[in-house]
Amino acid sequence: FLTGTINSLKILEGKLVVLILTNCRKVEGCLKDLSNFVLLEELDLDGTLVTGDIREIEKNEFLSIKNLEVGDGVYGGGCLKSMTDAPDVMLARYLLKMRFPDLFENRRWHLSYVSSDYYEVDCHQSRNPPFFVEFIRVSNRLGWRWTNGVRGGACEINWLDPKPLSSDKSYKYYMKSLETIQLEENGLYHGLFKPPTEHEYYERSAQIPFQNSRGNWRMDDNF
């Protein structure tokens, strides 16, 4: 594994395009040490000791960034420590994404396995607790949601962008797209904007039948 501080890379400031240091657990430094690398497009510091805060990235920094992965030492990176952290963390990522639209595409973040909110259940994968967060775009409107990554396993969308006006040309397309998503996600977590507690999970699972891949409804065998 590599060791040292990322500040030692300053000599490559005008040349470096990709920097992957995944799981280099002895690499230290501050995220801002790389902020003036104007050609840097891909940066992965997950699993390092690098610290920082994505909210402190200014408009004239990381000008070419398209893919950014940072670890638990950086606010806005790594796993979520609790469910209550999600709104602020996703807002921070959203504000950064507004400046760098390519960021966080097809990306999910997991609730930490050591979080007091985390629990495990023995069930079909579609009934797994929705412990991932992800961005979701409906037409031109962006939001985020909790999901288990399986169709029908998502909570409701927490919107970040305003709803388009009914007079907008894209409004009908937006409503049609939203309706499609709502039909697909009309499952165990319908009506919830965050994961249920463990007690709530078992209550809902006992009340809401399980739909198998053939579209047949039955009560979950585990309950």
Separation CA 45–CA 202 (nearest Å): 38
Q: In angstroms, how far is the first alpha carbon of the chain from the final one? A: 47
Query: Which pLDDT score, from 0 to 100, does residue 1 have?
Result: 65
Q: What would the mean pLDDT of 43-65 be, rounded to a whole number? A: 94
Q: What is the pLDDT of residues 22-34, one digit of tens each?
A: 999 999 999 999 9
| Amino acid occupying residue 42 | E
Query: Which pLDDT score, from 0 to 100, does residue 212 have?
Result: 55
Residue 172 confidence (pLDDT) above 80: yes
Tokens 């049609």 — which residue? 176
CA-nearest of 31, 22, 33 to 50 is 31
Query: Which pLDDT score, from 0 to 100, does residue 218 have?
Result: 40
| 49 touches 28 (CB < 8 A) | yes
